[in-house]
Structure 1
Amino acid sequence: MAGPSTRLRAIKLYKELHRLGRDYPDEHYNFQGKLRRLFEKNRALTDSEEIEKAFKLGEYIKNETLALYSLRKYRHLKRNYPANDSPS
């Protein structure tokens, strides 16, 4: 059975993912909409194993999104600074 701590955990995870989704390019992938539908789909879960599985999926999505943002930032920096092929 889902308790108050599970509810607070879900709200915290939703808020974190919602904030991350603000910067996600939405032209081809509706991050906010998919996030909302995913949480609504899992709203009625009562089995503790299924709830933990859903939390792990949410954490995985959060970590992968953060990794994509880091990669995007790295690529942007790499494009702005020319490669220095000659030794100094």
Structure 2
Amino acid sequence: MAGNTTRLRVLALYKELHRLGRDYPDPSYDFHGKLRRMFEKNRHLTDQAEIEKAIKLGEYIKNETLALYSLRKYRHLKRMYPGPDSPS
């Protein structure tokens, strides 16, 4: 049963990363290709500790990608609404 829940977690993580990759800011960066290769490279893992380590890495990448999107959004808003000290 633990294998099934781990599989569902991995699939949910893959789907979420794939969805996040649609809006990746750099079109020349092969986000989906790298994502697929990363998951295929780890597909043979059977040790639960190694699987958890790979899941943690995937979650880290997800959080970093979300931070990148937030930063991009913040920079865009900052350009759209200049502050009081910037020349207009």
Q: TM-score, normalised by structure 1?
A: 0.90
Alignment length, in residue pairs? Answer: 85
Match of 1:78 in 2: 78
Partners of 1:20 and 1:27 in 2: CA distance: 13
Match of 2:69 in 1: 69
Matches within 5 A, 1:35-54: 35-54=35-54
Partners of 1:45 and 1:52 in 2: CA distance: 10
The runs of 4+ residues in structure 1 deviating greater than 6 Å are none
Q: Which letter does structure 1 place at the counterpart of 2:78?
A: K
Higher relative contact order (Cα pairs below 8 Å, separated by 6+ residues): 1
Q: Which runs of 5+ in 1 are unaligned?
A: none
Q: TM-score, normalised by structure 2?
A: 0.90
Q: CA deviation at 1:29?
A: 1.3
Q: Which runs of 5+ in 2 are unaligned?
A: none
Judging changes above 3 Å, is the alpha-carbon distance between structure 1 residues 26 and 83 closer, same or farther for their aligned structure 2 residues? closer
